[in-house]
Structure 1
Amino acid sequence: MLNAVVKFVTKPLGFAQLRYASQGLPQLSSEKYNMSRKSFGSVESSDVNFFKSILGDDRVLTDEGDVQPYNVDWLQHCRGQSKVVLKPKTTQEVSKILSYCNQKKLAVCPQGGNTGLVGGSVPVFDEIVLHLGLMNKVLSLDEISGVLLCESGCILENLDSHAREHNFIMPLDLGAKGSCHIGGNVSTNAGGLRLLRYGNLHGSLLGIEAVKADGTIIDCLGTLKKDNTGYHLKHLFVGSEGTLGVVTKVAIHCPIMPKAVTLGYFGVESFENVLRLLKAAKLSLGEILSAFEMADFDAITTTTKNFKISNPISDYPFYVLIETHGSHEGHDSEKLNQFLEEQMASGLILDGTIASEPAKIQSIWGLRESIPSAGLRDGYVFKYDVSLPLQHFYRLVPQLRAKLGDRASVVYGYGHVGDGNIHINLTVPEYTKEIHSELEPYIFEEVSKLKGSISAEHGIGFSKRNYVQYSKDQSALHLMRELKQLMDPNGILNPYKVLPEVK
């Protein structure tokens, strides 16, 4: 649902919310968060004519109805006021656009699949949307090294399908894989479901091409696994969310496609037992362990209820999903079945099912991957993506249930226990500033106390920019500002994002 505008309402709305819901749109971010526009230029007809001279009429959108979907994030939390969407097809076109915008001091919001959770890919005011969806070519795939070279607008699922045709897979897998772009994945340093096995993008990314704010094309598009020549400039763009440059091409190392995939789905009594099960899985499954996911009762129940899908096992306080990637189906299934028998005997697993058939595997993964959007059917969802030490992984969920009480319809946690990344969802009947102010900065303060990170895999974007100090000290923030000033002195690239406002 790349550009869908959907509003699920179950209870009467306040006047302001009703006004926007009647239009099928959320409140403007600038109003909702009381923002002031920076002193950028405003787009005029002469600017539009220049963009059309580069892109042609069909790749410059100015009609309000055509532009509006690019102004709204998929969660319906943020809404910008852009009047222009540009759709380049080449790096050279991106370069010409940015060079012109930099001279005119026109702010630009780079946008890929727009699947983020922190408002990083939509404008706040009238920034020009630079949508990269037409830069979607796979340029090459080396069938010996597994190095895939592609443009940044390629959809992750399409890249994975292409890689599988050549006996490789993409090293990351996300619930949004059918919509998200690889450039956005790199720009937010996306983690995903199998980071436990294949690591994060800093390790898989071999090279990058990006365009700076002034139009300069930075060619760091190397394809070598080992290149220790000077500064690792490509990593400046990983996680920078389009604030330092626009990613246009990437080189990714793809692992060999596993010959055997086996999936276990288990019911567990307590989170303490989830952690014991993780330790047992590492010891018993070792090198074939590719994913270890957890979801609590409310996460699964909300999903099965709202999407009318079945839970393959009975109701339990916690559920664990364990996946293996290996080279021999019989061997891997035997190991996972033995693991199930041992842990049922120990009492860590109360019930479970194991699948090696693709259809059943897809069905179970579909249940897990549907969790992020399930709560949207019940009202407004506050979503938090944080990393915590494993002993504290689930601690915030009961704290938040107690804090909000019956003002929240449901509070649940799920995520990647294997790498310490939990997603916390709080569904309320409607957005209110009172509840928002109770949650933030409280959640980030608690995460900081527990020595965690306020952003695990979805970036900082717009919604977390004023809370970066809970995970980065002032010396780090000072260096980040210096890099921003060096690479984008006019501040035109994705303003109001990542870096906190200087007061």
Structure 2
Amino acid sequence: MLSSHLRTITRRVVLRTAAIARPAVTKTAIKSVPVAYRTYATNEKQVAYTVDKFPGYVRNDNFKKLTEQDVDFFKTIVGDNGLIYNNEDDLFAFNTDWMHKFRGKSQLVLKPKTTQQVSDIMRYCNEQKLAVVPQGGNTGLVGGSVPVFDEVVLSLQGLNKIRGFDSVSGILTADAGCVLEVLDNWLGEKGYMMPLDLGAKGSCHIGGNIATNAGGLRLLRYGSLHGTVLGLEVVLPDGTILDNMSTLRKDNTGYDLKQLFIGSEGTIGIITGVSILTPHRSKAVNVALLGLNSFEDVQKAFKQSRVELSEILSAFEFWDKNALHMFKKHATPKDVMENEYPFYVLIETSGSNKDHDDEKLTTYLENMMEDGVAEDGVVAQDETQIRALWSLREGFTEALGKEPAVYKYDISMPVPKLYDCVEDMRQHLRDGGVFGNTDSPVTDVVAYGHVGDGNLHLNIAASRLDSKVSALIEPYLFEWVANHQGSISAEHGLGVAKNEFLGYSKSPVMIKMMKTMKNMLDPNGIMNPYKVNDRHFDDSTFLPTNNLENK
């Protein structure tokens, strides 16, 4: 006989197939989730300059300061309409990240439209020792795509052409400035899809995704960009064009040079072209949402999903009730479950046989309920409802952006430790006297992430920026991550925010090798300076100041 919990999910889970007998209870079907984010006007003068917030940075005197003669030369390459010069209002969007946390002082933005123009620009900048910041969609969270001082911004917006597509192999070649969602929609018309999906897909560029080795929501199914990127076209700091636009899946001739630029954050070259393997768009997609009582149950649900859903499992996301509260605070969603639970998991399956996938998912959900792992669950019945469920997961970042202040961290660690990190941080902030009282600067600690790859997005919301809060978070969090064999940056890179903490994730030998490669490819240090492992800093900058256990 079925348990009462199982009968509950039998009533609520309404699958889109007649082959599986389920009472069609319309009132429990997921409705679309209308989102009306509150908007706030941003006063440009209120966005502090990066150098004021990070006083340890000093401009490299080896870099030339921009002159009118330099601007005139760039006009011969991109034309009068291909640049923005000395116009603070127009420059603001390029000088500032979308979270308004970092701000540079660049007086010039260049907008080339071809790889050759990028090459000509870089050759001149290298000769003149003009520092350059490559910029894609500018959707990063660590300040990696905006200047620190007066570096020239080289925007890839103009390199936005699809170069070719092989419908037999599924290999796409495109300019680096193509927007991820545009590529995905274009491929969708041909029965294919991009192998990564991000909350910022409507703005981010594929070149920027590769430069930061973005993981995204479906890495569990399709793997990382280190595996799906087949070739790259890169302009080196001296203007040399490295044409490695291979469309071969097998090429075992020498060093795999493209891997150097995946995750390099624009510090050793500018990605201008991409060759990437794209999977077939699944004919049958299901999305389910479960409510659970503990993170231990989240782990049990994930472990069993690998067994029961195996080849059709494409995403397994989690968030806590704090994340849901944050979303509801800044949006007006309809509740998709009658009760609230400490944890939620969003499960996506993608396959080619609808009946087969529906049956596997139904069996899995029933087992989760019968075993007491999940307390409640719903399954989307159509594309609108699928988007509604995904809007919850994808809406957390934007909702948090509406808070007066938020400290955002993108970290990775073994899955069993993911929520220990959250709970320890909450207690650490309470012990520090900045969380838990009505007048505390920290208002909430919110967690969500990708269970499949151990990636946690830890967000500390606050009523104001507070130096005491910052001092309590860092380096405590990075020490905690290092002690548990994790990484201080899972997806977004180091940029400015995590530059000085590189030693928590990389050994001195690794850092030395990285510096050697940087100095070899960019001897003048002009590429995205003051980021990642900039040689302008002393080696000690990148090493932990505290002893770490189990490092």
Fold-level similarity (TM above 0.5): yes
Aligned residue for 1:384, secondary structure, equals strand
Aligned residue for 1:292, secondary structure, equals strand
1:439 to 2:477 alignment:
no
1:32 to 2:53 alignment:
yes
C-alpha deviation, 1:432, in angstroms = 2.2
Superposed CA deviations along residues 250-305 of structure 1, whole A, max 9, x for unmatched, are: 10000111110000101000000000000111111110000000000000111122
Equivalent pair of 1:7/1:24 in contact (CA under 8 Å): no
C-alpha deviation, 1:401, in angstroms = 1.4
Runs of 4+ in 1 over 3 A off after TM superposition: 6-9, 21-25
Q: 1:422 aligns with which of 452, 456, 465?
A: 456
User: 5 Å matches for 1:314-393?
Assistant: 314-393=339-418
The match for 1:284 is 308
Give TM-score, length-normalised by structure 2: 0.87
1:297 to 2:321 alignment:
yes
> One-letter code of the match for 1:441?
P
1:58 to 2:81 alignment:
yes
The match for 2:14 is none
> One-letter code of the match for 1:252?
I
Equivalent pair of 1:156/1:181 in contact (CA under 8 Å): yes
The match for 1:47 is 70
Q: 1:495 aligns with which of 529, 540, 546?
A: 529
The match for 2:505 is 471
Superposed CA deviations along residues 351-402 of structure 1, whole A, max 9, x for unmatched, are: 1101141100001001110011212222111111011101101111111112
1:136 to 2:160 alignment:
yes
Aligned residue for 2:419, secondary structure, equals coil
The match for 1:262 is 286
User: 5 Å matches for 1:65-464?
Assistant: 65-313=89-337, 314-404=339-429, 405-406=435-436, 407-464=441-498
Alpha-carbon distance between aligned partners in 2 of 1:51 and 1:434, rounded to the nearest angstrom? 45
C-alpha deviation, 1:113, in angstroms = 0.3
C-alpha deviation, 1:114, in angstroms = 0.3
Name the larger-Rg structure: 2
Alpha-carbon distance between aligned partners in 2 of 1:326 and 1:29, rounded to the nearest angstrom? 46
Aligned residue for 1:394, secondary structure, equals helix
> One-letter code of the match for 1:277?
A
C-alpha deviation, 1:143, in angstroms = 0.4
Identify the range of structure 1 (147-156 vs 307-316) with the bigger mean alpha-carbon deviation. Answer: 307-316
Equivalent pair of 1:156/1:178 in contact (CA under 8 Å): yes
C-alpha deviation, 1:7, in angstroms = 8.7
Superposed CA deviations along residues 153-177 of structure 1, whole A, max 9, x for unmatched, are: 0000000011111111100000000
C-alpha deviation, 1:471, in angstroms = 0.6
> One-letter code of the match for 1:37?
R
Alpha-carbon distance between aligned partners in 2 of 1:417 and 1:54, rounded to the nearest angstrom? 47
> One-letter code of the match for 2:368?
Q
Aligned residue for 2:392, secondary structure, equals helix
The match for 1:16 is none
Alpha-carbon distance between aligned partners in 2 of 1:272 and 1:453, rounded to the nearest angstrom? 22
Equivalent pair of 1:7/1:76 in contact (CA under 8 Å): no
Alpha-carbon distance between aligned partners in 1 of 2:395 and 2:334, rounded to the nearest angstrom? 12
Aligned residues between the structures: 487
Alpha-carbon distance between aligned partners in 1 of 2:284 and 2:122, rounded to the nearest angstrom? 46
Alpha-carbon distance between aligned partners in 2 of 1:451 and 1:283, rounded to the nearest angstrom? 26
Aligned residue for 1:409, secondary structure, equals strand
Give TM-score, length-normalised by structure 1: 0.95
Alpha-carbon distance between aligned partners in 2 of 1:349 and 1:284, rounded to the nearest angstrom? 15
Alpha-carbon distance between aligned partners in 1 of 2:328 and 2:277, rounded to the nearest angstrom? 36
Alpha-carbon distance between aligned partners in 2 of 1:160 and 1:25, rounded to the nearest angstrom? 36
The alignment yields a C-alpha RMSD, in angstroms, of 1.3
User: 5 Å matches for 1:5-24?
Assistant: 22-23=43-44
> One-letter code of the match for 1:96?
D
Alpha-carbon distance between aligned partners in 1 of 2:279 and 2:326, rounded to the nearest angstrom? 35
Give 5+ residue unaligned stretches, structure 2: 1-37, 430-434, 541-551
> One-letter code of the match for 1:496?
Y
Q: Percent identity?
A: 48
Give 5+ residue unaligned stretches, structure 1: 1-5, 10-20
